[in-house]
């Protein structure tokens, strides 16, 4: 019985993915699957519950029926996005308009089938706000990567994947649990747990191949994701380690850059804490880190106006990096 139900749901999903609109009272569909309307109601409700906002449920008149019936279909760009565009255009809110522009510039396929009047309104609207925003870092750029949608589906469905990843050499991660897609440091990363129950971040742009894991269940247990909740909430950048206790760095910004580190300013790190002002007008603050790479690039950007007060190990790591840089400069 379970296999029959699975076959039926897969058939319904195939129809939805092919752009069909289905409704449980469809006599032809009932005959095709050899089930009644009540069974189809259960199946379609289960599909809608699983896919959430991706499934559009509407009550409409079908054929010559007098009663409105509930129909189900996957969201389609050329119909349903129009509603979103109209709301955004009508709002004329600069806090929202940059989102519309970002989507328009990066996913033109979602707009190509719009009606001419909507295209014209959208184009005029974006032109009016063209000089308001300049975005140099684009979170949608990597979404054009051929693996991005597959990874998003893998995260959503808690799938295992075998991943070929190229950094210096190609490394294959077998049966990796796809936990989260993260945008940080101007790049998209896949957070996944590999065989030794170790969390790693893989830059999406460096992923070369994705494969299904037929020897694994269809999805991993949610507990595998929950155990990293604290890490995801507190991670500061792609160099934050999941399995390492954090240390505290005490830093001092001199008077030339003190304004950027005052108590009321937006912090550069989640863990950044204001400590006080120094007698010469500088600002003393703290930042937690799990490895030197998590904070050293930031510190180097502010040299020579940012000083490491403690720990000594972080000072030594910075000194070593600077010595290596100077030796390269001297030898060139």
Both tokens assigned to 156: 């959503």
Please indicate, yes or no, whether the overall pTM of this predicted structure exceeds 0.75: no
Q: How confident is the model at residue 213 (pLDDT cuts 50, 70, 90)?
A: very high
Q: Provide the CATH number for the domain formed by 2-74 in this structure.
A: 1.10.10
Residue 245, classed as helix, strand or coil, is coil
Confidence (pLDDT) at 30:
85
What contacts 130, CB < 8 A, 6 or more positions away?
none
Mean pLDDT of 276-290: 97
Residue 234, classed as helix, strand or coil, is helix
Pairing, β 199-203 against β 273-277: unpaired
Mean pLDDT of 277-296: 97
Confidence (pLDDT) at 144:
65
Mean pLDDT of 312-326: 96
Confidence (pLDDT) at 105:
64
Residue 4, classed as helix, strand or coil, is helix
Confidence (pLDDT) at 146:
81
Confidence (pLDDT) at 309:
98
Confidence (pLDDT) at 303:
97
CB 189 within 8 A of CB 182: yes
Kindly tell me if the per-residue pLDDT of 190 is higher than 90.
Answer: yes
Q: How confident is the model at residue 305 (pLDDT cuts 50, 70, 90)?
A: very high
What contacts 246, CB < 8 A, 6 or more positions away?
271, 288, 289, 290
CB 80 within 8 A of CB 104: no
Rounded Cα distance between 231 and 316, Å, is 27
Confidence (pLDDT) at 78:
47
Mean pLDDT of the chain: 84
The contacts found for 252-255 with CB under 8 angstroms, 24 or more apart, are 252/278, 252/282, 252/283, 252/284, 252/285, 252/306, 252/307, 252/309, 253/282, 253/283, 253/285, 253/302, 253/305, 253/306, 254/280, 254/281, 254/282, 254/305, 254/306, 254/307, 255/280, 255/281, 255/282
Taking only the tens place, the pLDDT of each residue in 32-87 is: 888 888 898 888 888 887 766 667 778 877 766 667 788 887 765 545 555 555 55
Confidence (pLDDT) at 35:
87
Mean pLDDT of 220-243: 92
Lowest mean pLDDT among 40-49, 105-114, 156-165: 105-114
CATH of 247-331, one of 2.40.10, 3.30.70, 3.30.1490, 2.20.28: 3.30.70
Residue ranges of the domains in the chain? 2-74, 77-128, 142-234, 247-331
pLDDT: is 327 or 149 the higher one? 327
What CATH fold (topology level) applies to the domain 142-234?
SH3 type barrels. (2.30.30)
pLDDT: is 219 or 145 the higher one? 219
């Amino acid at each position: 019985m379970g296999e029959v139900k699975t076959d039926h749901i897969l058939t319904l999903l195939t129809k939805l993915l092919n752009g069909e609109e289905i409704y449980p009272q469809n006599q032809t569909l009932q005959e095709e699957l050899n089930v009644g309307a009540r069974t189809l109601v259960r199946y379609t409700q289960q599909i809608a519950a699983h896919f959430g906002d991706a499934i559009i449920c509407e009550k409409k008149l079908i054929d010559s029926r007098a009663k409105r019936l509930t129909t189900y279909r996957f969201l389609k760009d050329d119909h349903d996005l129009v509603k979103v565009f109209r709301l955004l255009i009508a709002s004329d809110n600069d806090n929202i308009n940059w989102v519309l522009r970002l989507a328009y510039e990066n996913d033109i396929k979602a707009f190509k089938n719009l009606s001419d009047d909507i295209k014209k309104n959208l184009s005029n609207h974006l032109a009016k706000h063209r000089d308001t925003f300049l975005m140099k870092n684009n979170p949608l750029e990597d979404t054009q990567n051929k693996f991005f949608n597959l990874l998003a589906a893998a995260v959503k469905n808690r799938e295992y994947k075998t991943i070929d990843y190229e950094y210096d050499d190609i490394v294959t991660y077998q049966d990796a649990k796809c936990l989260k897609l993260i945008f940080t440091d101007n790049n998209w990363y896949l957070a996944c747990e590999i065989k030794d129950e170790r969390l790693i971040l893989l830059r999406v742009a460096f992923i070369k191949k994705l494969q299904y894991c037929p020897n694994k269940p269809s999805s991993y247990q949610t507990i595998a994701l929950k155990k990293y909740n604290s890490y995801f909430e507190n991670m500061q950048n792609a160099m934050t380690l999941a399995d390492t206790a954090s240390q505290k760095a005490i830093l001092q910004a001199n008077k030339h850059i003190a304004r950027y580190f005052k108590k009321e300013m937006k912090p550069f790190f989640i863990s950044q804490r204001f400590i006080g002002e120094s007698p010469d007008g500088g600002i003393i603050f703290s930042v937690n880190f799990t490895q030197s790479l998590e904070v050293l690039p930031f510190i180097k950007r502010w040299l020579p106006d940012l000083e490491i007060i403690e720990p000594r190990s972080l000072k030594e790591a910075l000194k070593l990096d600077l010595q290596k840089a100077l030796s390269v400069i001297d030898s060139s």
